[in-house]
Amino acid sequence: MKITILPVILFGFLFNQLNAQTYNPLWIPDTLSGSTINLSLEEGTKNWIGSFATTSAGVNPSSSTNAFWGPTLIFTKGDSIHLNVTNNLMDTTTVHWHGMHLPAIMDGGPHQPIAPGETWSPYWKVDNHAATYWYHPHLHMMSQEQLLLGLGGMIIVRDSAESTLALPRTYGVDDIPLALSDRAFIGNQISIEPYGDSMMVNGVLRAEWIAPSQLVRFRILNSATERSYNIGFSDTTTFYVIASDGGLLNAPVPLTRYLLSSGERIEILVDFTGRQGQSLFMKAYNSVLPQNIPGGDMFPNGPFANYLQRSDFNVMHISVGPQTTNPITTIPSNLVTVTPYDSLTSVLTRYLTITDTNIVGYNGVSFIINHHLYSESFIDYQVPLDNTEIWEIANSGNFSHPFHIHDVEFNILSRNGVFPTAAEQGWKDVVLVKAHETVRFITKFTDFADAAHPFMFHCHIALHEDEGMMGQFVVVNSSSEVKDIINNDGVRVYPNPAFDRIFLSTKGESTIRGIFIYNSLGELVLSEKDQVQENQIDVSSLRSGIYLINIQNGSGQFMKSSFIKN
Ligand code: C2O
Ligand code: CU
Ligand code: CU
């Protein structure tokens, strides 16, 4: 007897110990709302590995030993909000309100740095649809590192259309924020690299959440620096997508998988009614991802070799507990009426390119947009206020990139000519442009003309963005404003505005090997190779407007500038 019982008791004991150590309770960040919100960015530590203090950073952390991520901000459409963002870090940073439609100077992109010790106080009137947005650091070349240390937080926008629907919206009870990311640790410290091998939800490793046995809404944000998550549930539970990045869909879309790339959000409903006592996993079914999707790329011995690459892994353990009082138990059949922009109202199509670089002068950089690296002084587009435009992004490269635009939400028109699936037919601000895919979207640039302050568009893979896979546009009231913001990379174009002939001079290098002139749609309209005489070119054939000029100097490097043709 004793011989048989003892192993059973021991096994039971060990099993319970293991079980007790297997999951950690999901952390639900506090919420902040109201007309004035104070945020403090702080360095500190967090214990992920035993009792070791890992260096980290967070927003309004409850203590210096719990520095990670930040409170969920709750905004109501139509309200004016003021934020005081204090940078208590040792480094400069920015805080960008991802997805918010607001003046460029309030946007918190690379042009609104906050020095250590300083407070930045943006304000605006909330004008977004009810949905899930987020805030995160956006300092050029520092985004990956500051995101990985833990800076960021979610934003929930509420509006009257959403609040009349019978949807779960009790924060932390049946309306649950889930920020998905992963980290690599070297020793006990976070390693600054694009992919991690430890899955985190709201900063918690091996997270577990006790669900009430009723309808639950998950607001899922991909806050990872590179990995995509092909989300599903371990027991093939169907979920219902109710919102994309920037608003509710027309109707819930039943799915068993959704590929969420960096920066994207979805809201889903999951019905746990009658399932008390059961448990399941939210998982990332990433084993099906091909080599050219972030997270499916495999380089067995290379720098991105990683335990989670192209494999299925657990995101969060879910145990179903008792029902709450007044639960929501029915999935609504309709949500809101999404009125997408009509392509007939588009006044122009801009052609953007994503390319893998092997260009002289771009050593070590892998991917670029519109054939040039990001430069804070270079403006890709002058967008007239209230323009409705189609942006066509052609990815000729061998990898997929989540393309994100600031200021606006857009409607996807097509992927390689094919109308998007139901879950992608609402409002978006990030779209995965797959390898060799051309994505067209339509949007309108309303409200905020400011020729001096650009908005960004970029790949949301933080490393790519840091390396320069980013461009910018200004929204302008009239073309006369444009003259003030023409700028260059050390290339002087004169006379500017130009009439029939322009002369070029470059800093340091006097020889010019090639001149390439692009119109504001990104089309090459004029070029001269290997025979540039006296550093000048005849532009009399060009129509009046703004042109980008790319110059290859004597040592083969490209430099860019722009000019106006009268
Ligand atoms: Cu989420 Cu330009 O960023
Ligand atoms: Cu953004
Ligand atoms: Cu990219």
Give residue 566 CA to ligand 1 midpoint distance, Å.
35
Is 230:313 a contact under the CB 8 Å cutoff? no
> What's the rounded Cα separation, in Å, for the pair 2 and 210?
37
Distance 113 CA to ligand 1 centre (A): 14
What's the rounded Cα separation, in Å, for the pair 335 and 242?
8
What atom of ligand 1 comes closest to residue 465's alpha carbon? 2
Residue 457 Cα: closest atom of ligand 1: 2
Tokens found for residue 280: 């399941």
How many A from CA of 435 to the centre of ligand 2? 22
* CA 102 / ligand 1 centre spacing (Å): 14
E strands, 406-543, are: 411-415, 430-433, 438-444, 455-459, 470-476, 491-494, 501-506, 512-518, 524-529, 536-538
Comparing CA positions, the residue from 128, 85, 111, 129 lying closest to residue 455 is: 111
CB count in 10 Å sphere of residue 256: 12
Beta bridge partners of 447: none
Tokens 């905004």 -> residue? 75
Nearest atom of ligand 1 to the alpha carbon of 456: 2
Q: Which tokens go with 153?
A: 């937080």
* Length in residues, the chain: 566
Residues with CB under 6 A from ligand 1: 96, 98, 136, 138, 263, 404, 406, 456, 458, 460
The set of residues, in sequence order, having a beta carbon less than 8 Å from that of 317 and lying 6+ positions away, is 22, 23, 206, 207, 208, 209, 279, 280, 281
Count of beta carbons in the 10 Å neighbourhood of residue 40: 16
Tokens 């800076």 correspond to 151
Of the listed ligands, the closest to the CA of 409 is 2
Residue 388 main-chain phi, psi, to 5 deg: -100, 125
Predicted confidence pLDDT, tens digits, the chain (566 residues)? 344 444 444 444 444 444 445 899 999 999 999 999 999 999 999 999 988 999 999 999 999 999 999 999 999 999 999 999 999 999 999 999 999 999 999 999 999 999 999 999 999 999 999 999 999 999 999 999 999 999 999 999 999 999 999 999 999 999 999 999 999 999 999 999 999 999 999 999 999 999 999 999 999 999 999 999 999 999 889 999 999 999 999 999 999 999 999 999 999 999 999 999 999 999 999 999 999 999 999 877 666 678 899 999 999 999 999 999 999 999 999 999 999 999 999 999 999 999 987 655 566 668 999 988 898 889 999 999 999 999 999 999 999 999 999 999 999 999 999 999 999 999 999 999 999 999 999 999 999 999 999 999 999 999 999 999 999 999 998 655 444 344 456 677 776 777 777 877 776 666 788 888 988 777 889 988 876 666 788 898 898 888 888 888 877 777 888 888 87
- List, in order, residues 6 or more apart from 221 with CB less than 8 Å away: 132, 134, 154, 177, 178, 179, 180, 264, 265
Beta-strand relationship, 80-88 and 36-49: parallel
Task: Name the token pair of 108.
Answer: 């918190």
How far apart CA 291 and CA 289 sit, in angstroms, is: 7
Q: Name residues with Cβ closer than 5 Å to ligand 3, which is an ion.
A: 401, 459, 461, 464
Atom 3 in ligand 1: which residue has the minimum CA distance?
98
Q: Which is the closest atom of ligand 1 to the Cα of 136?
A: 1
In DSSP notation, 448-488 reads ---TTS-EEEEESSHHHHHHT-EEEEEEESSGGGGGGG--B
Strand pairing class (455-459; 401-405)? antiparallel
Other CB atoms within 10 A of residue 444 CB: 18
Q: How far is the CA of 138 from the centre of ligand 1 (A)?
A: 7
